[in-house]
Chains A and B, each alone.
Chain A
Amino acid sequence: MSLATTMAAVIWAGVTCYALFGGADFGAGFWDLLAGGARRGAAQRRLIEHSIGPVWEANHVWLIFVLVIMWTCFPKLFGAVSSTLWVPLTLAAFGVIVRGSAFAFRKTVTATWQRRVFGAAFAASSVITPFFLGAAAGAVAAGRVPPGVGAGRPVASWWSPVPVMTGILAVVVCAYLAAVYLTADARRGGDMTLVGQFRWRALAAGVAAGAVAAGGLLFLHQDAAALYHGLIHRGLPLVILSAVAGVVSLGLLYRRAFLTVRLSAALAVAAVLWAWAAAQYPRLLDPGLTIGQAAADRPVLLATLVSLGAGAVLLAPSLAWLYILFQRSASG
């Protein structure tokens, strides 16, 4: 594997982590939105706040990680994508700032009306952000972002069936992951009503995610033939893996194996991302920008890889401690 491909894989691993961890935090906001009135939804909102409070900022850093490594190692890709897709990316950025601030504010205020306003802002932006990030990803996948600064069309590039569908898929997948994770958190908290609620939501969101993904393949056939071809050839094993993991997850949810289903649900989502990567490899943008052509100079790739490797030695144990600390059942 060339150095450029290695760095592309590192970025994709970052995207996967952002989807699995940051995505679930967005999904928690989705369920916060649907939790109902202040009294009825109080228990759900408390669980959501309790679950994502300590970890969401760390999970959010994956987005920054992906952005900076992308502009360092594949500057031409970053320049083309962010200039053409400035509309969805700007809207996603607004979603990011509203989500994070409103969540932090809601935790600290006590008046019901204030909690309601900040809660609504937090929840709505938790849906908007993954939609626009997903739509931007869909625009790239559908080959609607040409190489070059500002070379594509600012609206038509992402406001079309495949990107919009990818945006919806992103929202549904986030909701699915969140419901799956929250079910186990609710059981650890000992509230069986909540467990039941999130179990049903996880099942429903899982079915919906599968349906959107399968329906999306039909759109791809029409709108993004190259990607479709890649998915049913090189990407096929991963597509099948995702489908199998998705079905297994539904069974595990039904049988209340709430910890195991975290792994299988995450696998189903990760496999879709890697299927897309496999389908597109080594093309990044159409027409004609490959990983090799977009890559930075070798010393840059090497310096970045070495720095990240050194950083990982600090990061991995720290992240592990963070998750373990707050997954232990404790009084706090």
Chain B
Amino acid sequence: MWSAGSAVILAAGRVADPVAARSQMGFSLAWHIILACFGVGLPGLVIFVEWRGQRTGDVAYRLLARRWAKVLGVLFAVGAVSGTILSIELGVLWSGLMSNYGQVIGLPFAIEGIAFFIEAIFLGIYLYGWDRLPPRVHLLTGLPIFAAGVASAFFVVCANAWMNTPTGFTISHGRISHVDPWSAMFNPATWPETVHMILAALMVTGFGVASVYAVAMLRGKRDRYHRLGLLVPLTGAAILTPVQIVVGDWAARMVASYQPTKLAAMEGLTRTTKGAPESLFGYFSNGRLHGAIRIPYGLSLLARLNPHATIEGLDAVPASDRPPLVTVVHLSFDLMVSIGFGLLALGAWLAWSWWRRREPPKTRWFLRAVAISGIAAVAAMELGWITTEVGRQPWIVYHVLRVADAVNPEPGIQYGFYAVMAIYAILTVTTIAVLRQFTRASPVPLAPQERDVQEYKIT
């Protein structure tokens, strides 16, 4: 069923070069996903501190809620529009995919549309209703934003999971039939991939927000507002990190079962091997991995829970079906995992200090580590996406449709890519500049008073 379809489906016959289209899609996705992470995670943080503020009356919590809500307003707006571009690009760049498989994988997108509606509606109510609604009602209007954000992430990643482990249709003589959209949506990769991504989004938000306050504390601002701004998101992210490592292992074993070639690229494993070693780092050239640290039987143990299990190598498929950039896939994967363990260590440090002394570590090295953790978490998330996307090449739908057969064959696509680069460069600079103004334009008063909270306008 699987490999039959690709060649037959695209009847147009013109062969397009997918490099520009891949670069444009990869770039705009990698950009959007950072904002999407904050769109998923930040509402959770905001309603948590608003709730604490209402319960305790603590001014620091209430000011945090207002400030994070204002940041959320900007990030959500930019995230919403940069996400819209992606749905237009799916058609403009990958017309061959959407024209044939849009119906197979459309359902989660359609449901995501509903979830996104809920998010946008309640974000408008939450941000602009801050001083119009009773506090308790206002807090409750934040919950649908968080729930719908998590749901949106789930539905969108369902679609990506389907590209990895496509189910829910039959191909015969190039025609797609027997489409079962629910089975396509709940494909084998769906649960590990969606859970992995939702946790990643929450971690990016937690470490990301904490790192902003770590930088401020390194500059000498040690008041309660800044301490809470660091500790609340960091604690959340630290609790999720060990869970994420377990889920990551689940996702990797799913890849081992359903996408053995991708696993071989992630591990730089050339030949099918019984009792395969785990290879750390190194680079891949001339068909082999050089300079790697090898742990005997490690890969077989990790992937199959059996030191003597056979692991498929790249040689199990013809050269034309192997991912071309094995070094990129392998190193991205290893770096992602390394960062994950680094973040785990950071969380353990915080937990140990808290257990011994009921306070976070006093050394500046701790603040420096937290300051870096935000960027590290974003990097790990991006490296994970590079692993799964580059590792799936040359397929856009694994073993069903090649990237080259999915791209829009119209001439001139590369100009769209150049324009995207230019626009996103400007957008990156302005977004960062506007966010930096938040920290400068309204300094936190030495002794925060009620008035400062009340007068801090969200909109």
Contacts and interface: CB of A to CB of B under 8 A. Distances in A.
A and B together in one complex: yes
Contact of B81 (A72, A97, A299, A332): A97
B107 A105 contact: no
A304 interface: yes
Interface string A40-69: 000000000000011101101101110111
A174 interface: no
Interface in A132-151: 148-151
Interface string B72-104: 011011101111110111111101101111111
B90 A71 contact: yes
Contact of A57 (B80, B88, B431): B80
Nearest to B97: A79
A299 B85 contact: no
B81 A71 contact: no
B95 A108 contact: no
A196 to B, nearest CB: 27
A57 B120 contact: yes
Given A82-B92, A83-B95, A149-B95, A96 B125 contact: no
Contact of A108 (B99, B106, B438): B438
A107 B458 CA distance: 10
Nearest to A154: B410
Interface string B9-51: 0111010100000000000000000000000000000000000
B74 to A, nearest CB: 5
B454 interface: no
A72 B109 contact: yes
Contacts of A53: 124, 128, 459
A65 B11 CA distance: 29
Contacts of A318: 117-118, 121-122, 144
Contacts of B114: 307-308, 311, 314-315
Contacts of B104: 300
A79 B100 contact: yes
B127 interface: yes
B357 interface: no
B412 A75 contact: no
Nearest to A75: B102
Contacts of B178: 297
B410 A296 contact: no
Interface stretch (B56-64, B179-187, B344-352): B179-187
Contact of A83 (B82, B101, B106, B409): B409
Contacts of A82: 88, 90-92, 95, 98, 408
Dominant secondary structure at the B interface: helix
A72 B83 CA distance: 18
Interface string A288-313: 00000000110110011001100100
A112 interface: no
Contact of A332 (B70, B116, B132, B181): B132
B441 A110 contact: yes
B95 A79 contact: yes
Contacts of B116: 61, 64
A176 interface: no
Contact of B430 (A55, A80, A101, A297): A101
A97 B117 contact: no
Contacts of A69: 106, 110, 113
Contacts of A58: 117, 120-121, 124
A90 B92 contact: yes
B125 A86 contact: no
Contacts of A61: 80, 113, 116-117, 120
Nearest to B413: A86
Interface in A107-132: 107-110
Contacts of A158: none
- The 8 A-B residue pairs with the shortest CB-CB distance, nearest first, are A79-B99, A72-B106, A82-B91, A75-B102, A296-B103, A311-B114, A100-B81, A83-B95
Interface of B: 10-12, 14, 16, 70, 73-74, 76-78, 80-85, 87-93, 95-96, 98-104, 106-107, 109-114, 116-118, 120-125, 127-129, 131-132, 144, 177-182, 408-413, 416, 419, 423, 427, 430-431, 434, 437-438, 441, 459
26 contacts: A54-B129, A57-B124, A60-B80, A60-B81, A61-B117, A69-B113, A71-B91, A71-B109, A79-B91, A82-B91, A90-B416, A90-B419, A93-B92, A97-B84, A108-B73, A154-B410, A297-B179, A299-B181, A300-B179, A300-B181, A303-B107, A307-B107, A314-B118, A315-B121, A318-B121, A319-B117
